[in-house]
Amino acid sequence: MRLLFLGDMVGKTGRTAVWNRLPGLISDLKLDFVVVNGENAAGGFGITEDIFLETINAGADVVTTGNHVWDQKEAVAFAGRHDQFLRPANYPQGTPGRGSGLFYARNGARVLVANVMGRVFMHPELDDPFKSAEAILDACPLKEQADAIIFDFHAEATSEKQCFGHFVDGRASFVVGTHTHVPTADHQILNGGTAYMSDAGMCGDYDSSLGMDKEEPLNRFISKMPKGRMEAATGPATICGVGVEISDATGLAEKIAPLRLGPRLAETIPEFWR
């Protein structure tokens, strides 16, 4: 199975780049399943229902989120209406929406996608992500109820991300980190066969501070005083993500490589998809 994960869409420039390029990527690379993190898609803060639906219409099978999931008030209302919209699974019981779901890939495979949020340096501090993941895996084990299992681990600390990868190694197909908006160079297949990358990066303008116009963040670091609102940068976007090939026989990863398309960062498409 060919899986593509795209990192946090930031603002109009990021989401538009994804919408424009994703249909062609699905066709050209013969992708079976696509997950996109959309928690920063609405001006850098949260996601609206229209943006979610447009991302699904562009070809995403699931849209994950993170700590900004509720920044747009309408998300509380629409989260429960769409199975393909995921918020972190370790929110307390009774939170709107769902944190995981079982979906069907284009090749007919059953794909479990789970969105979990870390706790180190993160706000709000949610329930234990490791216990949450354990419950998800117990309810839908790999190669029993699911042919592939994907975790979007939305977290700040790379140590927490790496430990989470080792925790589910051999029981999940792929663990990818989101939230820090900077692509890491540690894509690998762990000893148990789980593909792993600490952060997929963002889909947005890299002439920025994490996708936001750089002037206000820079001002706040220097003066410690806000001068205005944070605004999403509007320059040309680079699409960042990661591609994984998953064995139909075992549900574990066989290949992993980054995907980057656009200005500023060196463009790359996984060699095994060329």
Is position 40 annotated in a ligand binding site? yes
- Model confidence pLDDT, tens digit, residues 90-117: 999 999 999 999 999 999 999 999 999 9
- Model confidence pLDDT, tens digit, residues 173-187: 999 999 999 999 999
Q: What is the pLDDT of residue 62?
A: 98
Choosing from 68, 82, 123, 166, the catalytic residue is 68
Is position 8 annotated in a ligand binding site? yes
CA distance 44 to 60: 19
Domains and CATH numbers, the chain: 1-204+236-271 (3.60.21.10)
Is position 154 annotated in a ligand binding site? yes
pLDDT at residue 82 greater than cutoff 90: yes
CA distance 265 to 74: 34
pLDDT at residue 241 greater than cutoff 90: yes
Q: For residues 192-218, give the mean pLDDT.
A: 98
Q: Binning pLDDT at 50, 70 and 90, where does residue 274 land?
A: confident
Q: Is 82 a catalytic residue?
A: no
Is position 71 annotated in a ligand binding site? no
Q: For residues 155-164, give the mean pLDDT.
A: 98
Q: What is the mean pLDDT of the chain?
A: 98
Least confident of 11-15, 111-115, 233-237, 269-273: 269-273
Is position 166 annotated in a ligand binding site? no
